[in-house]
Amino acid sequence: MLSYTKLRNSYNDEVSGGTLTSAQLTVGDRRINSEIKVLLRSHAWPFLETTGTTATIASTQFYNYPANVGKYHGVSITIGSRTYVPSECVSKSDWDKLNEVAITADIPEWYFIFGGQVGFYPKPSTAGNTITHIYRKGFRDLSRADYTTGAIASITSGSTLVTGSASVWSASMAGRYISIAVTDAANSGDGEWYEIATSSTTTVVLVKNYMGASISGASQTYTIGEMSPIPDGYQEIPLYGACAIYFASIDENRANYYKNLKDGLVAQLIADQGSKSDNVIVEDMDTSRDNPNNYVSL
């Protein structure tokens, strides 16, 4: 996977052999982030779909939805062991008519999106029921350099808890990825990238279980990096797009070279990740048959 730092360094190498100034690198950052946004807006990518949860508050109708929402798809409320899916009210006037009669009840019938919030009708009457938001993730510009201070002190294979040594991690690292370096030591990491769910000063909790060898009492090097939401294997797309823009006015051949690299990867991404299913539906040839009931039988 290509972190913000790796994308930035690769851009520098590709366009100048590593000689860009800080100001020029900042321009490259803007180009890469813009290319990511263009790609993410170009398709309803399944890999952006996710959920987030909040909780009902007694007698409260509207709730903020998660900060990283790009496109809201739907919502449900879980009460005990049952999950209820309300219908969407898409008209403000219809929503206002519903609310002419104030009703408070836990089971939702309608939801309404307005001003970055989701409202429920009837108004929830009980606190603590789980609201599950279904949405497509938005994108925040990449800007944070790789973090490598200290080392990994311990992690157990199959666990999600990582403990650092001489590291100063922070809560803002949630959503980034961590990779423990592969070495020849017995307590080596696996080199894979794992998304961070939560982070504190000396520990991080992974979204998925760590699958490498257990590390205990060791000092393994690691990298925490900020990644784009583009799947691994396709993260060069914004890099190639930014390089094409760089060369557009100074070297048409190189601009076309990077544009072709970008277009080829985009086409492959659509083929591989453009839909949720790998099923291929093969349409049959016309096999229509005459209805015997249309004919007179003697």
Q: Where are the beta strands (DSSP E) in the chain?
A: 49-55, 62-64, 69-79, 82-84, 87-88, 110-114, 117-121, 130-137, 151-155, 161-165, 177-180, 193-199, 203-206, 215-220, 222-225
pLDDT at 293: 47
Looking at residue 199, its pLDDT comes to 96
Beta bridge partners of 208: none
Q: In angstroms, how far is the first alpha carbon of the chain from the final one?
A: 74
In order along its 298 residues, the chain shows pLDDT tens digits of: 999 999 999 999 999 999 999 999 999 999 999 999 999 999 999 999 999 999 999 999 999 988 889 999 999 999 999 999 999 999 999 999 999 998 999 999 999 999 999 999 999 999 999 999 999 999 999 999 999 999 999 999 999 999 999 999 999 999 999 999 998 877 789 999 999 999 999 999 999 999 999 998 778 999 999 999 999 999 999 999 999 999 999 999 999 999 999 999 999 999 999 997 665 554 444 444 555 444 444 4
Which is nearest to 126 in space by CA: 113, 107, 148, 154?
107
| pLDDT score of 279 | 59
Output the pTM of the full model.
0.85
Residue 269 corresponds to which tokens in the numbers above? 């991404």
Helix 22-41 with 4-16: angle, nearest 10 deg? 110
Residues 6+ apart with CB under 8 A from 247: 15, 254, 255, 258
Give me the chain's average pLDDT, please.
92
Conformation bin of residue 274: beta by default, left when phi > 0, alpha when psi is -120 to 50: alpha
pLDDT at residue 281 in the model? 54
